[in-house]
Structure 1
Amino acid sequence: MSHNSPEVFIGIDIGSVSTNTVVVTLDKEILEEHYTRTKGQPLETARDVLADVLSRYPIEIIRVVAATGTGGKTIAPLIGAYFTNEVIAQSKAVEYFHPDVRTVIEMGGEDAKLILLAPDDTAVRSQESGVRSKKIRVEDFAMNSVCAAGTGSFLDQQATRLGLTIEQFGELALKSKNPPRVAGRCSVFAKSDMIHLQQAATPDYDIVAGLCYAVARNFKSTIGRGKTFLKPVAFQGGVAANPGVRKAFRDVLELNDDEFIIPERFTSMGALGAVFTAMEKTNKMPSHVSGFKGLKELEEYIASGRKKGKGIDPLSRPENHPSQKKDKSDYWGQIILSPLEKVNVYLGIDIGSVSTNVILIDEHSKLIARRYLSTAGRPIEAVRQGLKEIGEECGDKVNVIGAGTTGSGRYLIGDFVGADCIRNEITAQATAAAHIDPTVDTIFEIGGQDSKYIALKDSVVVDFEMNKVCAAGTGSFLEEQAERIGIKIREEFSNLALSCAGPASMGERCTVFIESDMIHHQQKGAGKDELVAGL
């Protein structure tokens, strides 16, 4: 496909989660608009998108390339693009499409912004019509610092936890008549609230609606910080696609439909604003002058980033680790049931926020059957499925003489199955470890949301510590990051990590700071292996 336009202008907004690209004419007609998930490789994504655009538009007719977003500053000098601050870019697009808007709410994958606008009294009159143009200026703005609560990636994570697509998530929220209160100040507290609601069998539509309202309230209280949201209000960025969040903002800010505007190009406002700003800056330049240098330097930068190999010491797989054994039967100690006689067994169920484990052991503590299932926010359904599968495996060869439950859903499931004993996770972990090896004095246990340190002396718990609410260093955090960069948590994650020669150095104290470090390394061209090894 070829284009005969004398010149075109390209805008690219490189965010932590997606890259948005537009191609426009001198008259600001939008020829193309693209939304592409970065999956942990923003520079490669930008290169691929630009290469695709260049396959249709000869470099000779590209007058200007403009960049914005978290990765825009890195890429701009490499390709000869004009860099525009995100706040300016968002505002410039609003000025063109909706000049009467006075407040902009912008939510992307990791960032959230509040931009307050005012009429620009210095605007010049049009020479042709004599009418003063509707120019606007940024009067004030605020952004989230490093916390991802109330951003697109947070909502993506919660949708995944519930086994929903983000599209289903938004539509489902509209069914709720009485959304529960969910913590919105911190994504970790919100997750904790979600788990409690799930264990109490709260309907999914109420939970997701509660999350949508938490996002809106969090934005108003933390980013708004008492500022006045002047009307009309524009909501843009990827999260504006979510009807549940749209409704929550309308309700929380008490706006009617005329006062709450969703721009038609809500995902591309940053890219459009960047290119419009660049067009204004270059309109006095000769038409044959273009700063765009092509993609060669970007290619070299990406390649050099791969070759650096700098970072912390590489990981090594411990010898004799169970994952290295092809035959795991000895490790698990599972026995084969005899078809001739019934075996008395005990049922154990561990119901966690992320996974559910169901096992049967005989009177000698030998493993008869086991199942590992995803809780997916539905603990009763997960347990029911686990029992069904174990029942099909064992048939009438077993006789259950006792049952015990543990985990965050132990009381709910204990009541559901009629458990003989219900124990907290500390006791359960310690009892099992001491039974397997009486000399054990230290236990590290890492699950989906919890991590624990347990000290034993003579098989008795003498001390323990748990993460209170923070999910740093837990399975769900690793799973969320794996999904964000487009890899599978099972096998692919560990294989990549163990094959890396130079893991990226990241923070250790908080998921938010670790995510911030990840984004920084991504923008510098770090490979997926370096990221997961660093994690």
Structure 2
Amino acid sequence: MTQIYKTGIDVGSTTVKLVVFDENFKLIFSRYERHFSDVKAATIKVFKDFIEEYGDLNLELAITGSGGMGLAEVIDVPFVQEVIASSITIEKFIPQTDVMIELGGEDAKMTFFDNGTQELRMNGTCAGGTGAFIDQMAALLKVDANGVNELAKNYEKLYPIASRCGVFAKTDVQPLLNEGVRREDIAASIFQAVVNQTIAGLASGRKIKGNVAFLGGPLFFMSELRKRFIETLDLKEENIIFPENPQLFVAMGAALYEETSQKTATDLIHSLENDDSDSLIPQDTMDKLFENQAELDEFRTRHAKATANYKNLSEHQGAAFLGIDAGSTTTKVVLIDDEGNILYDHYGSNNGEPLESVINILKECLC
């Protein structure tokens, strides 16, 4: 009798996760791949990785995740809602869980397990307080998400930072950088902001107590983010559940889902490579700025009329007038003559050091 391997695919807002179980529910294969908005290519890649390692086996699978519904239509397999999928995995592998906290690329979830019942909570479409939010803040610190985690290990002081929206957070983080606050303290404060957003937004006053499980990519890869949760919730060691492969729990739930479809990995790749539908193309997008090249050319011609004249600074004699705009994130400098001709201009990031930025620009301009 041909063995069938239970398989789950989780297509999140930023990653594709693939898991494959054997008949004893032992995880024999897993992949965690960023899709960079190309779900089709990332999914094909993880299945090709599987074939290369295990061959073209028979798979019994389902799909979950915020971006999984379109993929489920293309390859014709059942779809299961992601909160339900993670609950399935929790009930099988860590049934002692009282509260589950999961952070994803652009969503956050919290589930309360109480005497056989479940209360599921999930954030809206805003990415505040999620993995994408941490990526945005990492860019301000000029590191990646792992770099934020490494910085946070050596923090000394926490500062209040809004995390409901990346725009709000930047208005808090940038002044701290400009004031010379230690990057280590800012990094830990960013994680604390995520914790505050998750607890306030999802728990909404309900007590988080008992055994708490931490799931999802950000909580798996970032030890200091978990630490901020643990300290804020004042959890004892025996109440902390950090299972093996927590970043894959949603995909594992899809594999364990009762309603599945049987296909081979080659069948799935073939369906994706020959798909000419728009199921995997984002539909809710903004209108185009220009319908064709002619409209773009007309726009550029119209705006080119409002330009200032430039003159070579090395050939200038007489008075010159300097203007400096030191903003929260950028420094703008312009030097003009008495007729308004531009002799020198600069527009660039201040890299969190506005004074040093202006000094370097003036040295370049006047020396």
Tell me the TM-score normalized by structure 2: 0.85
* Cα distance in 2 between the residues matched to 1:294 and 1:19: 15
SS class of match (2:313): coil
* Cα distance in 2 between the residues matched to 1:144 and 1:46: 26
The structural deviation recorded for 1:306 is 9.1
5 Å matches for 1:88-107? 88-107=84-103
Number of aligned residue pairs: 358
Q: 1:377 aligns with which of 347, 352, 366?
A: 352
The reply to whether residue 222 of structure 1 matches residue 196 of structure 2 is no
The residue number in structure 2 matching 1:252 is: 232
* Cα distance in 1 between the residues matched to 2:338 and 2:282: 57
Query: Is contact 1:11-1:66 (8 Å) kept?
Result: yes
* Cα distance in 2 between the residues matched to 1:307 and 1:368: 47
The reply to whether residue 24 of structure 1 matches residue 4 of structure 2 is no
Query: Is contact 2:311-2:342 (8 Å) kept?
Result: yes
Tell me the TM-score normalized by structure 1: 0.60
The residue number in structure 2 matching 1:200 is: 179
Greater length-normalized contact order (CA 8 Å, ≥ 6 residues apart): 2
The structural deviation recorded for 1:310 is 11
Q: 2:9 aligns with which of 9, 12, 17?
A: 12
Query: Is contact 1:184-1:218 (8 Å) kept?
Result: yes
Given residue 333 of structure 1, which amino acid in structure 2 is its aligned partner? N
The reply to whether residue 71 of structure 1 matches residue 46 of structure 2 is no
Query: Is contact 1:16-1:42 (8 Å) kept?
Result: no
5 Å matches for 1:117-156? 117-118=113-114, 120=116, 139-156=118-135
**More displaced stretch, 289-298 vs 37-46:** 289-298
5 Å matches for 1:291-440? 294-304=268-278, 312=287, 315=290, 316-319=295-298, 321=300, 331=307, 333-338=309-314, 343-391=318-366, 395=367
The structural deviation recorded for 1:190 is 2.1
The structural deviation recorded for 1:342 is 5.9
The structural deviation recorded for 1:74 is 2.0
**More displaced stretch, 208-217 vs 5-14:** 5-14
Max Rg structure: 1
The reply to whether residue 38 of structure 1 matches residue 35 of structure 2 is yes
Query: Is contact 1:44-1:302 (8 Å) kept?
Result: no
The structural deviation recorded for 1:185 is 3.6
For the structure 1 residues 233 and 199, does the alpha-carbon distance in structure 2 shift closer, same or farther, using more than 3 Å as the test?
Answer: same
Query: Is contact 2:71-2:280 (8 Å) kept?
Result: no
The residue number in structure 1 matching 2:167 is: 188
For the structure 1 residues 9 and 390, does the alpha-carbon distance in structure 2 shift closer, same or farther, using more than 3 Å as the test?
Answer: farther
For the structure 1 residues 262 and 324, does the alpha-carbon distance in structure 2 shift closer, same or farther, using more than 3 Å as the test?
Answer: farther
* Cα distance in 2 between the residues matched to 1:102 and 1:294: 37
The residue number in structure 2 matching 1:85 is: 81
For the structure 1 residues 27 and 313, does the alpha-carbon distance in structure 2 shift closer, same or farther, using more than 3 Å as the test?
Answer: same
Deviations 1:46-84 (A, max 9, x none): 23323443444444x323122110122222243233322
The reply to whether residue 53 of structure 1 matches residue 50 of structure 2 is yes
The structural deviation recorded for 1:207 is 2.2
The residue number in structure 2 matching 1:277 is: 257
The reply to whether residue 290 of structure 1 matches residue 266 of structure 2 is no
Query: Is contact 2:308-2:341 (8 Å) kept?
Result: no
The reply to whether residue 165 of structure 1 matches residue 137 of structure 2 is no
Deviations 1:138-177 (A, max 9, x none): 5211110222211111111111122121111122123222
The residue number in structure 2 matching 1:421 is: none
The structural deviation recorded for 1:9 is 2.8
Q: 2:214 aligns with which of 235, 242, 254?
A: 235
Query: Is contact 2:73-2:279 (8 Å) kept?
Result: no
Unpaired runs of 5+ residues, structure 1, are 121-137, 283-288, 396-535
* Cα distance in 2 between the residues matched to 1:309 and 1:206: 40
* Cα distance in 2 between the residues matched to 1:100 and 1:17: 30
* Cα distance in 1 between the residues matched to 2:244 and 2:283: 44
Given residue 228 of structure 2, which amino acid in structure 1 is its aligned partner? A
* Cα distance in 2 between the residues matched to 1:234 and 1:103: 6
The reply to whether residue 178 of structure 1 matches residue 136 of structure 2 is no
Query: Is contact 1:174-1:205 (8 Å) kept?
Result: yes
Given residue 34 of structure 2, which amino acid in structure 1 is its aligned partner? R
SS class of match (1:104): strand
For the structure 1 residues 370 and 117, does the alpha-carbon distance in structure 2 shift closer, same or farther, using more than 3 Å as the test?
Answer: same
Query: Is contact 1:43-1:302 (8 Å) kept?
Result: no
* Cα distance in 2 between the residues matched to 1:268 and 1:373: 41
Deviations 1:429-485 (A, max 9, x none): xxxxxxxxxxxxxxxxxxxxxxxxxxxxxxxxxxxxxxxxxxxxxxxxxxxxxxxxx
Query: Is contact 1:198-1:379 (8 Å) kept?
Result: no
For the structure 1 residues 224 and 371, does the alpha-carbon distance in structure 2 shift closer, same or farther, using more than 3 Å as the test?
Answer: same
The residue number in structure 2 matching 1:458 is: none
Unpaired runs of 5+ residues, structure 2, are none
* Cα distance in 2 between the residues matched to 1:8 and 1:99: 23
The residue number in structure 2 matching 1:455 is: none
SS class of match (2:322): strand
* Cα distance in 2 between the residues matched to 1:276 and 1:70: 18
SS class of match (2:250): helix
Please, what is the CA RMSD of the aligned residues?
3.2
SS class of match (1:268): helix
* Cα distance in 2 between the residues matched to 1:143 and 1:85: 12
Query: Is contact 1:371-1:390 (8 Å) kept?
Result: no
For the structure 1 residues 313 and 18, does the alpha-carbon distance in structure 2 shift closer, same or farther, using more than 3 Å as the test?
Answer: closer
The reply to whether residue 115 of structure 1 matches residue 111 of structure 2 is yes
* Cα distance in 2 between the residues matched to 1:342 and 1:362: 9
Deviations 1:242-281 (A, max 9, x none): 2332122112211133322332312111111211234xx5
* Cα distance in 2 between the residues matched to 1:161 and 1:202: 13
SS class of match (2:113): strand
Given residue 209 of structure 2, which amino acid in structure 1 is its aligned partner? L
